[in-house]
Structure 1
Amino acid sequence: MSDVMRTALFGCLLAAAFSAAGIEIRGANFANWFVAGEPVLFRAKKTLPESAKVAVAVFDSAGKEAARQEFSGAVFNREGWRWNAPRPGFYEAEFKVDGETVSEHYPVGIRRQDPVDKRKYTFVGKRDFAVSRHAFAVAPAKTADPADISPHFGASPHFSMYKNAIPLARLIGFHSIRIHALRWDSMEKEPGKINWSGVDDFLRLARENGFPDERITFNIYGTPRWASSRPEADWINIFVPEYAAVTPKNLDDWRNFIRQVMRRYPKIGRYELWNEPHLIGFTCFWVDSTRNFVDLLKAGYETVKAEKPEATVWLGGIGMRYLPFYDEFLKLGGGRYYDVLPLHGSWVRPEPFHELEKKYGLEPKPVVSSEWHAMLLKPYAQDFPSEQLLARNMVLDFLNQIRAGVTEVDFFCILNLYRTEKETLQFHRENRSYDTHVSGLFRQVPYIQPRYPALAWQVFTAQVKGKLKVGSGYLFDNNTQRALMLESDSGPMLMVWNTGGKAAPAAPELRSAVGPDSRILTAEGAELERGAPLTLEPEVYYFVRDPDPAAVAAWRNTGEVLYAQNAKLTLQNKLNGVYRRGALFDADMNPVFPQKIAWQPVAERVVNNPALAPGETKGRFAAGFTSAGLELLVEVEDPVHVMKADNGKVWEFDSLQFALDTKGEGFDVDRIEFAAALGEDGKPVLWKVYAPNLAGDLPARYTPAGERVRNGRCRIERKDGRTVYRIAVDASELYPFSLEQQPRVRFSLLVNNNDGKGRAAWIEWGSGIGGVKDPCRYGNLTPALPPGPLASQQQLKNKGWNKEYELEFRNENGIPSVKVGSSPLCAGVSSGWFGVVPGAVYRVRFEARGDARLQVLASGSAVKRLDLLPPTPLGAGWEAFDLPLYVPKECRGLSVTCFAWRQPGRTFEIRNFTVEPFRQ
């Protein structure tokens, strides 16, 4: 056989055996990042048969086909695939070889930690994921040098990914880097033996990419095992060995490590000491006391200042849900040992932290956002936003922080976690694997590629120079179209977007702002043709550079545009009960002070199945709250008890369900719900049925929804037709609920009844669990109070804004008659100041008559005004009033005023006035 024949035969065999499987196609540029004007180029790492037919389809960010090309394998081997993008933007390319789509696969495996022995893991699932599209960006221009990027823009990459993260940060456009983190436990595994190689290499690469040491923040945390006060705690707590999340047994070891870091890297001037400290059980990064954290921070602060007085110390970053910790931390004197307050999370607000600082006599601290969860997604969510909506939300979030006074916002993070990409989140959710997230501007597997928000962020940073000022917001077209004025050294700019679900022509007012010198840019950096009609697509946004100042000045429809325009929900306050501010049980779950238990009846019966008899159940409950958590005692009379709770659907059988609203605002996504029952084996089961999305928070002692509660106790006894539930749930399992932040607890409880033929009915206190999930229907649990009135008729005194009224006690019973003068603002009577318990509910009761329109309000410490009665016309006869007074969490004292406003010549009388604690 001739060589020619052999070659031809070999080519035929190769073509017959060839498959698209295993082909790796890569962009010619790092991270598939191209700049307008240069060709997009992709090549295969494996030689294709020359006779193969290669087809490439290109899709834009809206999923529409932007181009299609076909060529031979020979051309692809020789030249690759080249394409000139018609405009800047985010694109995806899909390759087919001989009609077969080229895909790359990567496996994802999930292990679950044993809840008892945390050193053990069980493999629970594995799945292969296929990726067939190659994402690439065509940026409108090269990214400016980091020195020329606004100081507002920082990056917070993982240290373990720095070799890719730093060049990617340079590619996107950041001014500074907060490196997360220098782990003391990783660098000094043995006393005195510090491994500097990783940090040395990180700084070398950072300098090469335009990030000098002066613009680097070192985030330092993690106690080595040899230095730990709990070296035996060698299990992983979510992400961190537990021995690394406690104070060193000798703080001199901590001081020495910081000192050595500073001496090796003398140009570093910013130190964030620790990461996300919180109360015990509420974070995996610090599982020690607040007092010990104050001591740790003090030691670190004094060391930094001794070595370099001009250096800046940042408190270990904390989130919006960390306010109880911050309060305790400041109370213990921690406010003296840091210069800057770093916040973590998204949509952060400095105001609540500043209020606490003022409470302890401190000047408000400068605020940075050192770990901004700009686009973080967790498996908890049932639906995930589009990439376009993620980008829009992150820009609005950023602008909201700048408006609030945050000086630097550090983007978390550059790369997704290894093998956790957006398409894997549902798999993690199905396997109840919640300790992961997707938050990167770039995906990492099967190789580094940009996500849509990466290009959007690069375009945005290019529009801002120097200090950014966030101006007024404007609402158009029934509030669905919005605009926000922005100003920086690069000039004025409008951000414009459409919150509706469909594309819409820009409102006339918006069109008027597009002047002859204006330019309109898409989020992807493409410039719209001058004079073309402006259509606002949903979920995206646009920039109007140099808008017409006269047109904008004529706008009068200003409004809040950064926060969603959601109306507040109306909470039902039909039911009030009390809880003990203390424990209900001793260590053996036996009631303490049983004679003092404040019982609430569980009396409202709801029929679930009319075909079944509703049963003869009746019950009562008592609740207690302490810093350790919630304790619940429920007694139920039920002659027939059916126990089949092992399938997790405990509500189908005789069982208990209870829930609380973690924010107290009535939104379903904020509820946390539990269920308890006896299993068929007679053993008690306590389930967490539903829990809020925790976003980036990582409580250490916490059970995800759908699992048995790990940190709590449940004792259920069944005897003589009576079921007694004794339940204690740790405070961390109620996260993000905080009794200090919400002393008036929005709570509901029900008892299901099944006499053997199915769930027939339930009895409930409050509502919103059975039938419909609605926290607006929950009842109020408030602190139990001692008896006795706080204010009475004899204490009433005149109250007014001027003296043109008369006040006299008409008879010996002390009935004040108020006659309004000729032209006063207000005339009335006031109870005077009385002390109250935060979160408690009181009753304001009195009788009134007259010809005025009577109003009642309360005011006092930290409370300007609580309206108890709107203007209400009185009559000639006595009318009884019974008004609930809910005390805000920050209030310690109040007074109640009954008055008439702007009613010259009118009169009213008050008798039997009293303010007293609420009683069931």
Structure 2
Amino acid sequence: MNARANTPKWSRRRFLQRGGGLVLASSALGSGLVPESIHRLPHAWAATPVTLDLTDVQPGNVFAGDEPMRLREVLRDPSGRPSTYEVELVGRDADGIIVSRHTQTLRVASAEPVKYVAPVGADAYGAYTADATLRASDGTTVATTTTALARVPQSPDRLQPDSPWGIGGGGSFIGIRFDETTIATRLQLVAEAGIAFSREEIFWDTIEPSEGEWHWERFDPAVIAARNKKVLFLALLDYWASWSLPDGYQGQSHPTPWAEAIDNFANYCFQVVSRYKPGGTLARVLGWDDDYGIRHWEVWNEPPTFWFGTAEEFGRLVRAASAAIRRADPDAFVVVSNGGESFDQQVVDVAGIGSYDAMAIHLYPGPAGPEEGKFVEQIHQARTFLDRNDGRQVRLWVTETGWNVHGGVSPWEQAAYIVRANVEAVAAGVERVLDFTLQYGGEGWGILDDALHPRVAYAAYAALTDRLRDHRPSVGVPMGSAVRAYVFGAEQGATAVVWSTAENGSLNLHAGAHQIQPHDVMGNRLDTGRGPVEVPLTGRPVFLVAPGLSPERLARIVKAGSVHGLTPLDIGIDNLADLPVNLPDLTVTITNRVNVDQHGTATLTLPDGWSVAEPELPYGPLAPGASTVLRYRLQQAPTNPDNTYPVRISATTPAAPGVVTAQTTLFVTAVVRGTPPIDGTLDGFRTAAPVHVQRPDQVVGIPNWTPAGCSATAWAMWDEDNFYFAVSVTDDVFHQPYTGGDIWNGDSVQLMFDPDNVKQGMPPGAQEYGLALTSQGEQVHRFSGGSSDVPGARLVCRRGENSGIVYTFALPMTELGIEPGVGTRIGMDFLVNDNDGSGRSGWIYWTPGIGNAWDSSLFSTWTFVGERL
């Protein structure tokens, strides 16, 4: 998936161009702090500040099993003056609860550092922080520092070739950027988490910087260290060598014809595979007799972002690379990254489906969770594509997915989402998931922080790999739309993973004589007392371990459990596309959110002057997770200039609380005839029908959201030549430092069309545009393939009060490929991105059809009308 639709992720090249610096595992967070309250200390001390560091006793501050957690306190007083200090070390769990407190007196007699290994007393698995405070003898605080650490289950200390769990970029170009010590440390941290695979790039330009000049010393240490740490590689073969760029690539002239450049790439693949395969050149030179080597190879990375040729040319490269890999190693496993359905179809037509052993997909739903981000649905779409092309034998791999703690999710959300996504992916038939990433370039994607210390996600991922080690997905349990439950089987029994995608509640299990042991997301046994097993249902998954039970039996017990605390119904009320041309049905979708059948009646309360033939309709019975659409036949529906229509619906249900009520404000999604001036003002759009985007349920990722922080009103108009669109955005901080294809990272608008109103996935005619006021002026960027330029498009923006902005936009009808007229219907969606100066925090959408996923079935239908409402 193109990361454009999600939180920003540096490209590998961009990161390297920025000179991403070396981060050593031994670096200490908080080193060299200037003392607090220094003005209250003796004058001599002010010139020679005292510092306190917390340094690692174990690599990365990761402790396995019952290993005692410890940190090394390092006190430096450059003055050399004999002094006495007190260090207080406070340990907190990932929820901020204090779990230990240790105080130690340290005496300084010279300028040499004083070191002391202090305990952090916490027995439970999980992620922790340790805060150290250094005080002088008079109680004055001299310095503070903090670090992160974790206790995780004991890793298996063996290769795990059948494990589904991996990490993408486990070392961030591990064989290219780091020395041997750092490579070993990073791979140890991969292994400590029980992670079987690490995805690592072997840049062609690095290995063969000029034709025939091979620099194996750049990657040999990584392969050797991976063998020592019992980690397997998915090796990524990608990007052109500078000496073999094909002529015309990126629109530039190069001396190498395409056919020759592809042959050179294939030779690079052949040479690399020959060296690093089991029994390859490296193994023979080093005398390995254990069949260790790289067997899994991925051709190119993320074509939507990093391929600048045609799909046909990419297909030729895939065909040649796959043949070269298999010629070097007949047992090699070839993975090819996808590039979108249309692109992939052309690639398969050229390369043949037999070129693939697996298709790699990249899924970045963030900052939304995997369920709201349509994670599983996109997996099913990829599977359907392969099956349609006679690729039933081709596996699916997710080689990148993740959430950014600097991009709208908290550390706890990152942890929970990663576990949920991995479980859902494997349950949906994905053979292997490689999360992005261990630690990457100062960004918030890693499960380790910049000092190579564990985030909450590291401990949660370690628990996942431990709890489901040697398990295989077996049964998905229908628990309703608000609860997820998946059962995995192993020789010793079964394990279920359950969580809530909505509010918190509980699941009571009646296991009888069977033993079911709940464990939290960190792998700790939960005390449920006697009687029924009460399982907390929150966004943090719980593992239900059932020794000796079959997956089918455990699934029946979970399915029969009693769900408490969750609203049993979800009620959605659709907007009214056909007013005022026609009098449409008002449609209401009711979904069963829990694991017992639901039925009842649903009653409408309408705006003044509106009426329906039958305001009360029955629904159900609805099975868990099932939905039904109720259609209320409108008899009267007068419109008003503000285009706002409050509607409420109350549905009875046999489950508590007995009645579920939903209310919303509807809008008529009309495109009104007219030719407004494109001048940054709304004057010409006043005759159109405004739609307002200002509800909490339309917000994704924006922390502490209020309508004053980010909201919008939009208008749509048409004439024979152009589609016109205006958006008035309320924004407390305007920040748009990006240009071109990166404008989605800053304050901007994304607008997407389904011209034929297909309402199914992403149809071939779909078009997506970005609108932004940049440092280089107004910019319109086409995201949906082909040229990024949009001939004939016009955008004029005007800044208003309180950092607000008005976008006025004209798009030629030739872009949409439709013949406009009264009654024409198109699918359309838009969102407003929000960046307050520290990265895109999220967005607010009209409908959830873009941003989390491209899905035209979620677009509104907009009807072309000829008169004012």
Give 2:107's aligned residue: 74
Q: 1:216 aligned to 233, 238, 253, which one?
A: 233
Deviation track 1:378-422 (CA, whole Å, cap 9, x = no partner) reads 74xxx42x333332222222222222221222222111x2222xx
Deviation track 1:608-639 (CA, whole Å, cap 9, x = no partner) reads 99xxxxxxxxxx989xxxxxxxxxxx8627xx
Distance in 1 between residues matched to 2:228 and 2:491, nearest whole Å: 27
Distance in 1 between residues matched to 2:442 and 2:256, nearest whole Å: 26
Please list every run of 5 or more consecutive structure 1 residues that lacks an aligned counterpart in the other structure. Answer: 1-10, 104-131, 236-241, 278-282, 421-437, 578-603, 610-619, 623-633, 678-684, 694-700, 719-723, 735-742, 750-766, 783-920
Does 1:260 pair with 2:271?
yes
SS state at 1:458 partner: helix
Give 1:371's aligned residue: 399
Distance in 2 between residues matched to 1:395 and 1:295, nearest whole Å: 37
Distance in 1 between residues matched to 2:419 and 2:210, nearest whole Å: 44
User: What are the equivalent positions in structure 2 for 1:476-491 lying under 5 Å apart?
Assistant: 483-491=485-493
SS state at 1:192 partner: coil
Give 1:154's aligned residue: 166
Q: 2:811 aligned to 719, 727, 732, which one?
A: 727
Checking the alignment, whether the CA contact within 8 Å between 1:494 and 1:547 is kept in structure 2 is no
Give 2:526's aligned residue: 528
Checking the alignment, whether the CA contact within 8 Å between 1:473 and 1:558 is kept in structure 2 is no
Give 1:44's aligned residue: 73
Give 2:362's aligned residue: 344
Residues 1:398 and 1:224: Cα distance change in structure 2 (over 3 Å): same
Distance in 1 between residues matched to 2:690 and 2:338, nearest whole Å: 27
Give 1:468's aligned residue: 472
Shift in Å at residue 571 of structure 1? Answer: 5.0
Letter paired with 1:24: D
Letter paired with 1:345: L
SS state at 1:275 partner: coil
Distance in 1 between residues matched to 2:460 and 2:254, nearest whole Å: 41
Checking the alignment, whether the CA contact within 8 Å between 1:154 and 1:409 is kept in structure 2 is yes
Does 1:204 pair with 2:215?
no
Letter paired with 2:449: R
Checking the alignment, whether the CA contact within 8 Å between 1:714 and 1:725 is kept in structure 2 is no
User: What are the equivalent positions in structure 2 for 1:314-393 lying under 5 Å apart?
Assistant: 314-315=335-336, 317-318=337-338, 322-332=340-350, 334-345=352-363, 347-348=375-376, 349-360=378-389, 362-376=390-404, 379=407, 383-384=408-409, 386-393=410-417
Shift in Å at residue 275 of structure 1? Answer: 1.5
Residues 1:78 and 1:357: Cα distance change in structure 2 (over 3 Å): closer
Q: 1:636 aligned to 675, 678, 681, which one?
A: 675
Shift in Å at residue 658 of structure 1? Answer: 12
Does 1:690 pair with 2:749?
yes
Give 1:441's aligned residue: 447
User: What are the equivalent positions in structure 2 for 1:707-786 lying under 5 Å apart?
Assistant: 707=774, 708-710=779-781, 711-714=789-792, 727=811, 745-747=826-828, 778-780=860-862
Q: 1:493 aligned to 489, 492, 495, which one?
A: 495
SS state at 2:159 partner: helix
Give 2:661's aligned residue: none
Q: 1:92 aligned to 115, 126, 129, which one?
A: 129
Give 1:301's aligned residue: 322
Shift in Å at residue 51 of structure 1? Answer: 1.7
Shift in Å at residue 353 of structure 1? Answer: 3.2
Q: 2:461 aligned to 457, 461, 466, which one?
A: 457
Checking the alignment, whether the CA contact within 8 Å between 2:73 and 2:118 is kept in structure 1 is no
Shift in Å at residue 342 of structure 1? Answer: 1.9
Residues 1:493 and 1:642: Cα distance change in structure 2 (over 3 Å): closer
Checking the alignment, whether the CA contact within 8 Å between 1:387 and 1:453 is kept in structure 2 is yes
Shift in Å at residue 309 of structure 1? Answer: 2.6
Give 1:413's aligned residue: 437
Deviation track 1:55-89 (CA, whole Å, cap 9, x = no partner) reads 22221121122223333233993533223324332
Letter paired with 1:691: Q
Letter paired with 2:296: R
Give 1:544's aligned residue: 544
User: What are the equivalent positions in structure 2 for 1:509-520 lying under 5 Å apart?
Assistant: 509-510=508-509, 512-513=510-511, 517-520=515-518
- Relative contact order higher in (CA < 8 Å, ≥ 6 apart): 2
Residues 1:690 and 1:565: Cα distance change in structure 2 (over 3 Å): farther
Distance in 2 between residues matched to 1:565 and 1:150, nearest whole Å: 40
Q: 2:576 aligned to 546, 552, 572, which one?
A: 572
Letter paired with 1:747: M
Checking the alignment, whether the CA contact within 8 Å between 1:149 and 1:173 is kept in structure 2 is no
Residues 1:725 and 1:544: Cα distance change in structure 2 (over 3 Å): closer
Distance in 2 between residues matched to 1:244 and 1:210, nearest whole Å: 43
Distance in 2 between residues matched to 1:656 and 1:365, nearest whole Å: 57
Checking the alignment, whether the CA contact within 8 Å between 2:296 and 2:332 is kept in structure 1 is yes
Deviation track 1:798-847 (CA, whole Å, cap 9, x = no partner) reads xxxxxxxxxxxxxxxxxxxxxxxxxxxxxxxxxxxxxxxxxxxxxxxxxx
Residues 1:515 and 1:175: Cα distance change in structure 2 (over 3 Å): farther
Deviation track 1:539-594 (CA, whole Å, cap 9, x = no partner) reads 32322322795786456559999xx99666635341699xxxxxxxxxxxxxxxxx
Shift in Å at residue 704 of structure 1? Answer: 7.3
Distance in 2 between residues matched to 1:642 and 1:372, nearest whole Å: 41
Checking the alignment, whether the CA contact within 8 Å between 1:370 and 1:409 is kept in structure 2 is yes
Does 1:272 pair with 2:298?
yes
Residues 1:225 and 1:87: Cα distance change in structure 2 (over 3 Å): closer
Checking the alignment, whether the CA contact within 8 Å between 1:712 and 1:729 is kept in structure 2 is no
Distance in 2 between residues matched to 1:768 and 1:498, nearest whole Å: 23
Shift in Å at residue 357 of structure 1? Answer: 3.8
Checking the alignment, whether the CA contact within 8 Å between 1:228 and 1:249 is kept in structure 2 is no
Deviation track 1:742-794 (CA, whole Å, cap 9, x = no partner) reads x9741389xxxxxxxxxxxxxxxxx999xxxx998944479xxxxxxxxxxxx
* TM-score normalised by the chain length of structure 2: 0.57
Letter paired with 2:574: T
Residues 1:155 and 1:87: Cα distance change in structure 2 (over 3 Å): closer
Give 2:180's aligned residue: none
Which range is displaced more, 74-83 or 454-463?
A: 74-83
Alignment RMSD (CA, Å): 5.1
Q: 1:286 aligned to 292, 301, 307, which one?
A: 307
Checking the alignment, whether the CA contact within 8 Å between 1:229 and 1:243 is kept in structure 2 is yes
Give 1:136's aligned residue: 149
Checking the alignment, whether the CA contact within 8 Å between 1:658 and 1:675 is kept in structure 2 is no
Residues 1:655 and 1:276: Cα distance change in structure 2 (over 3 Å): farther
Aligned length, in residue pairs: 586
SS state at 1:747 partner: strand
SS state at 1:62 partner: coil
Shift in Å at residue 92 of structure 1? Answer: 0.9
* TM-score normalised by the chain length of structure 1: 0.54
Distance in 1 between residues matched to 2:75 and 2:381, nearest whole Å: 58
Does 1:396 pair with 2:420?
yes
Q: 1:225 aligned to 242, 245, 256, which one?
A: 242
Letter paired with 1:727: L
Letter paired with 2:446: G
